[in-house]
A and B are shown apart, each in its own frame.
Chain A
């Protein structure tokens, strides 16, 4: 496979194709006949998948640093370039984006019955934006993608969302925009400082990283600016309250994209920018403890709040907050294990939460309610859906053998050396997560079927199965054989940890890898 890909020059064009295809498809979809919109969108999504999946083989995990690099001057004299590349930190995110795209399109097949062209066009735009964030290696480009993403999401929630959609859409955009406005100042400031010292003004990630030492005097301020943007996106407690609203009101595709990709942009931002640029500040004892504590508060807090949610989507939204807390904890754990774990949580949260949102969407299409109390006893009428939901629920709460466990376990064990107490507290979430997931599963699928409206609803059809089954297969595969994924990120994680190593204060526990 790798040889075949090399023979077609895959590495040279893959990123451009991935970025350009959806955005070029946008006008086509907008001006095509309404009936054909979804078919075009699906075709583009499949193409995107076929093109993107090649990364799995073409990406060389043994090589450090960026691959598939392109560096084209964009605005000369201002150091802005079309600079893209993929490394171990981003490869799985890119893959996840392209894999989710056809599923997202397919899941909207029936649910979106008005303004179809606009909807699919927005999905396409969203996808370009998401991919762009993960492949951009130029901070200007990154910021553009980062902010541009808000627009399609805003309209997706605002137009196709449910009853309280305007509030949710506005909250989402304002929250995220306000969070990231300082990042622009920080980016320009960095470029100015580095440019003044080196004489070359450049927004290139590599260039800024190389001269990150020059930024030390302002590390605290700059990190805060970046951290604010990313923390809102993650979302880290206490910046999370936009998420339940946005998740709940968005249409299925929107919820899925939010959960699977958008939230990861925050944690990815920390891994890629905020920490490597300012490790001395970010990983110092105080800041590290604060961030890890916030992460752990998020983990427990969100799980507890999820437990009492009457709305199924809201519950899953809060569970996302909890899961992303694990990612944050893993990032601040700063060991190869915890960072690998963080990336794994990013992937597996994408799969399981994505699947949960898909299934809630399917339920919603049937019954037009998200309230848990409106359901009950569905397992009898929809055994397939119930089975899939239970598997996914258990994957979400980290049952070993399914995907969720791998990441959480690695995060916890990796971070334990630095934050034993915090990890200890975080680990209690195994109880609470089981609490909210099982309780809600029980109230939806088990117990007596009392509401006669639920009698007639049908089980999953073939299209829906085609959305869910690949995800469940992936959950089991990653749960039992995560080696291929771990190996693809191992190099990057190793490199990352070495990069920030010097800044780390002494861990609470000695290195278990030391020879004995």
Chain B
């Protein structure tokens, strides 16, 4: 179904999922403005917002099913398989986080149903970011997402940690936005265009000027902040620890995924001609990120903080796929982010169930002996850890394998080796979690008696765990989907690697 994006109706069609979700967010907002008193209202708002995600998924599915594509130039928003795939991924993350949040918020005494519209708006921002075909959309999407997440990070405002997390995230995030914006300005200055395709064509035609290089560099810095690449990562552990746990999950998966999708698109469509310039940057970032993330995670005692560092390391792994700059790389980004998001959501879901109201963050030692009391939860968390580790038989392994393949097929061996060194280090902090839960005895009689694992969350987590194992040994569906031509980004034909 060709869509003319220059006509208003075409634009509405192309933005249908985002529009639906935004409108629904407003509807929910209206509802919560009217009723925001007790747990029942919280639950209703959550359920309502889930409906919004379902609408958006349906719209995305419809567009994908009809084979929507831009007639002529993609103006403002991309219309390709990659956008639909990334939208689907982001929507599922948002939905899952919503499910995890419902009971958790009530239990923590956070009775403010504005949470859900904000989550939806953040999702809209993510979708815009991931689907943008124009630097303006990119910036707007980024800011919509960021501003919503700033609020969400500080949502538990009665806790100082949450407020502090919001402040840190906000200040450094705004600072980073400045860099990104300056990069956009310089890129605009160098080409006179905001549209990805047009800029790409411009760069392909002329050698990069100083302004173009600086512009690209600043945009890369902006993204490096969002994906929490070292040395732009420093906010992540603090914010992850301070933010409400479901929001941590949301940031670790959704925000990161959206940023990666956008970065992949920008590198593939805007800067393909400068591949020789940005590859070394990614190379260095990836190595430092993988090593610092994994090493620092070793010395953590708080689970959330440990997972924060681990997510930094995973950002490093993902850069392998971006470095590859190939269809395999794109497929790897999709698969890896899916695997990573499933695993992380499940892990945070289980952690959220262990947290007690108002208590400090869950420490590694708090998990000791969990298996004896909660065998399934601890088995689930163990499987998550193995999947994050990239252990064969789990979905995480499939993702990691694709990443390594993508890089190796481009003749790059150093990054995969460093990635595996990173994995080897990471066993040093994933394994103790398994060890604490399954092999150590409980500290006290009363341990783990306060765990509340509400049914919706339990089902969501169970589905995630099942998916981790199923796709670990039967990844065909996912792999075939991700390696279809239709979900790939338009890669300019370039002389790359030994291929």
Contacts and interface: CB of A to CB of B under 8 A. Distances in A.
Interface in A121-179: 143-144, 146-148, 151, 155, 158-159, 165-166, 169-170, 173-174, 177-178
A507 to B, nearest CB: 35
Nearest to B403: A188
B277 interface: no
Contacts of B420: 181-182, 184-185
A146 B420 CA distance: 16
B57 to A, nearest CB: 27
A192 interface: yes
Interface stretch (B143-151, B156-164, B307-315, B431-439): B431-439
A76 B476 contact: yes
Contact of A189 (B393, B413, B475): B413
Nearest to A179: B424
A75 to B, nearest CB: 5
A188 B435 CA distance: 30
Nearest to B483: A77
B421 interface: yes
Nearest to B409: A192
A73 B27 CA distance: 50
Interface in B377-430: 386, 391-393, 397, 401, 404-405, 408-409, 413, 416-417, 420-421, 423-424, 427-428
B435 A75 contact: no
Contact of B431 (A78, A159, A174, A221): A174
A77 B439 contact: no
Contacts of A144: 392-393, 397, 473
Interface string A220-246: 010000000000000000000000000
A159 B438 contact: yes
Interface string A44-63: 00000000000000000000
A146 B386 CA distance: 15
A196 interface: yes
Contact of A77 (B413, B480, B498): B480
B439 A185 contact: no
Contacts of A169: 435, 439
A148 B386 CA distance: 10
Given A148-B393, A158-B435, A188 B405 contact: yes
B499 interface: yes
Nearest to B382: A151
A185 B480 contact: no
A460 to B, nearest CB: 32
Interface in B469-499: 473, 475-476, 479-480, 483, 498-499
Given A147-B391, A159-B438, A159-B439, A184 B404 contact: yes
B431 A184 contact: no
Contacts of B416: 185, 188-189
A188 B408 contact: yes
A75 B474 CA distance: 8
A166 B438 CA distance: 11
A173 B417 contact: no
Given A75-B476, A76-B480, A177 B393 contact: no
A155 B391 CA distance: 16
B435 A166 contact: yes
B417 A185 contact: yes
A208 to B, nearest CB: 14
A213 B416 CA distance: 23
Nearest to B417: A185
Interface string B86-102: 00000000000000000
B404 A188 contact: yes
B38 to A, nearest CB: 41
Contacts of A178: 424, 427
A436 to B, nearest CB: 32
Contacts of B498: 196
Nearest to B411: A192
Contact of B417 (A76, A151, A182): A182
Given A78-B479, A159-B439, A184-B401, A196 B393 contact: no
Interface string A72-115: 00111110000000000000000000000000000000000000
B439 A158 contact: yes
Contacts of A192: 405, 408-409
A77 B480 CA distance: 8
A81 to B, nearest CB: 12
A201 to B, nearest CB: 9
A170 B438 contact: no
Given A143-B392, A173-B427, A181 B435 contact: no
A335 B405 CA distance: 37
Interface string B444-484: 00000000000000000000000000000101100110010
A185 B413 contact: yes
Contacts of A78: 479
Nearest to B415: A185
Q: Which of B386, B405, B432, B473 is most buried by chain A, counting CB atoms within 10 A of its CB?
A: B405
B440 interface: yes
A75 B413 CA distance: 24
Nearest to A166: B439
A147 B392 contact: yes
Contacts of A170: 431-432, 435
A177 B424 contact: yes
B427 A166 contact: no
Contacts of A177: 424, 427
A159 B498 CA distance: 49
Contacts of A182: 417, 420
Given A158-B435, A166-B439, A189-B413, A181 B479 contact: no
13 contacts: A75-B475, A75-B476, A76-B476, A144-B393, A147-B393, A151-B391, A166-B435, A170-B435, A173-B431, A184-B401, A189-B408, A189-B413, A192-B405
6 smallest beta-carbon distances between A and B, as pairs? A144-B392, A158-B439, A181-B420, A147-B392, A178-B424, A181-B424
Given A75-B475, A182-B417, A188-B404, 8 more contacts: A146-B392, A147-B393, A148-B391, A155-B438, A177-B427, A181-B421, A184-B404, A196-B409
